[in-house]
Amino acid sequence: MENVERSHLPTGKPVGQHPDGHRVHLSGRAVAAFGVGTAFAIMLASGVALYLAPGGRVAQDLDWRWLGLDRQGWEALHLGMALLFTACVAWHFLLHLRVYKTLLTATPAHPAGHRVEALIAFLAVLLIAATALFALPPTSWLMDGHSYFKQTEGLGTGGRAWRRP
């Protein structure tokens, strides 16, 4: 018989029946993992669409659309997925709080913990934040590209500059 994963949600209510007769419970860990992955993929796609889209006024005047959504639709999708992503990451973090504590403290396998790795990750975040705050590369390159696309007609136009009719 297969192991049936038990719920990590407070209710632990069964959500179905396993073929061998066991009740299947909802897994909070799986919900968090799939929520993070799916929301990230959609945010990535909507982020690319918004990066390559013309500016708000230009997009509105041109009635710009890509894959059936206008700029406002892409923004709504991106913000909605950001909210879902944040909630799923928070849930995932809470479920794995002991793992994070273990990574930062000593264990027999890693007597010094993983403090160096945590410091490297923290410094990488600070570095990218500083490049954004002080308009330095590589963030400034991303902003330059975004400004270019905001001035054009957007995706699929070959970068033609927009002119008010």
Say yes or no to pLDDT of 5 above 60. Answer: no
As given in the structure block, the two tokens for residue 52 are 């390559």
Q: What is the mean pLDDT of the chain?
A: 83
List pLDDT tens digits, range 73-124.
Answer: 999 999 999 999 999 999 999 999 998 998 888 788 888 888 899 999 999 9
Q: What is the pTM of this model?
A: 0.71
* Higher pLDDT pick, 23 / 29: 29
Average pLDDT over residues 45-49: 95
Instruction: Please choose, from the candidates 103, 124, 101, the residue with its C-alpha nearest in 3D space to the C-alpha of residue 114.
Output: 103
**How do the domains of the chain map onto residue ranges?**
1-95
Are 60 and 71 in contact, with CB atoms under 8 Å apart?
A: yes
